[in-house]
């Protein structure tokens, strides 16, 4: 994918989202990871992405059903103590300027002239929900006792092949990797909300055929 492809895809996604319109209001039963998780932020620097890359990742997150949250390259996640999950494909891409130089020598005088040009390079980045072993230490933690009946039901789902990943700020079913994502249970004010959220996403998991089958 080139830098031009990244920008063209972003524009197409944004137009499609505008045409589709918003659907209903919803109350979140868990605590977000930070005060502004909708702003795409780099895991290595802790700083928000700037200029066009902020829009590129915001649109990528919106169309993939993710919160803007934290992003990074494969190497940046590894350095931060996380590991991109096996089978994951980069959910987004950013563009970076690359300065190129060329030096020409005049055949007659022998004088050298250096020319500089600026090009753009696309760089694949992964979202926090695609990474294991990392979570920022923010927000309140709630201690919960498990509900035996609910745990028995969850065990039946996992025995049937459902993969549950507790990470990030989003509860969703991801068809491409056939996994159910929910925030970590200590971020829910009530354990019942955790189970009900997980059950809701489990219904989506039962719909499509697994990519592995």
Annotated domain spans of the chain: 3-132, 148-205
- What distances in angstroms separate CA 116 from CA 104, 168, 178, one per listed residue? 11, 42, 47
Residue 150 host element (H or E): helix 148-159
Q: Is the pTM of this model over 0.85?
A: no
- How many Cβ atoms sit within 10 Å of the Cβ of residue 68? 23
Cβ atoms of 42 and 57 within 8 Å: the answer is no
pLDDT at 158: 93
Residues 6+ apart with CB under 8 A from 27: none
pLDDT at 154: 93
Q: Does residue 31 have a pLDDT over 60?
A: no
Residue 199 host element (H or E): helix 191-205
Cβ atoms of 62 and 12 within 8 Å: the answer is no
Report pLDDT digits (tens) over 45-85: 888 898 889 888 888 887 777 765 789 999 999 998 889 98
d(CA 141, CA 184): 10
Cβ atoms of 165 and 179 within 8 Å: the answer is yes
> Token pair of 191, please?
């354990």
């Amino acid at each position: 994918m080139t830098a031009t492809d990244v920008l063209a895809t972003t524009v197409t996604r944004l137009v499609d989202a505008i045409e589709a319109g918003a659907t209903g209001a919803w109350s979140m039963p868990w605590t977000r990871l930070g005060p502004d998780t909708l702003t795409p932020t780099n895991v290595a620097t802790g700083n928000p992405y700037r200029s066009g890359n902020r829009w590129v990742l915001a649109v990528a997150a919106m169309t993939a059903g993710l919160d803007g949250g934290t992003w990074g390259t494969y190497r940046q996640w590894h350095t931060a103590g996380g590991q991109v999950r096996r089978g994951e494909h980069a959910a987004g891409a950013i563009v970076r300027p690359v300065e190129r130089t060329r030096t020409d020598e005049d055949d007659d005088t022998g004088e050298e002239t250096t020319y500089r040009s600026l090009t753009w390079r696309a760089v694949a980045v992964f979202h926090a929900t695609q990474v294991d072993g990392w979570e920022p230490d923010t927000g309140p933690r709630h201690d919960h006792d498990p509900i035996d009946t609910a745990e028995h039901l969850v065990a039946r789902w996992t025995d049937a092949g459902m993969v549950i990943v507790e990470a990030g700020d989003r509860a969703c079913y991801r068809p491409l990797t056939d996994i159910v994502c929910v925030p970590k249970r200590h971020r829910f004010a009530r354990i019942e909300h955790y189970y009900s959220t997980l059950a809701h996403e489990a219904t989506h998991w039962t719909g499509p055929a697994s990519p592995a089958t």
